[in-house]
Amino acid sequence: MKMEVTIMIVGIAMFCTGLIMFYSIELGQTDSSLRLIKNTGTFIGLSGMGVTLAGILLYLINRNEAPIVETFDV
């Protein structure tokens, strides 16, 4: 499997994990451990979006372009 696809899969998994961690805790929690889990979910979700974007950009940069064929039919 290409590295770009692997990076995109890891980024999507990070984003989904962050969503689960963020939305599993209700708003207004005063317990510090629950707030830490919610804040960690925010960080992991945003990092996952960045990793996914990096994988997409690597895929776009490394794809092979068709060679330029010049025809001079005059």
Give the pLDDT confidence of 39-69 residue by residue, as tens digits: 999 999 999 999 999 999 999 988 877 777 7
Cβ 22 vs Cβ 39: under 8 Å = no
Q: Is the pLDDT assigned to residue 74 strictly greater than 70?
A: no
Specify the pTM: 0.77
Residue 32 belongs to a domain: yes
Cβ 45 vs Cβ 4: under 8 Å = no
- Hey, what are 62's tokens? 């490394």
Number of domains in the chain: 1
Give the pLDDT confidence of 8-32 residue by residue, as tens digits: 999 999 999 999 999 988 877 788 8
Q: How many CA atoms lie within 13 A of 13 on its CB side?
A: 6
Report the amino acid identity of residue 20: I
Q: Where in the sequence is the domain holding 32, given as residue range(s)?
A: 3-62
Residue 73 belongs to a domain: no
Residue 67 belongs to a domain: no
Residue 7 belongs to a domain: yes
Residue 18 belongs to a domain: yes
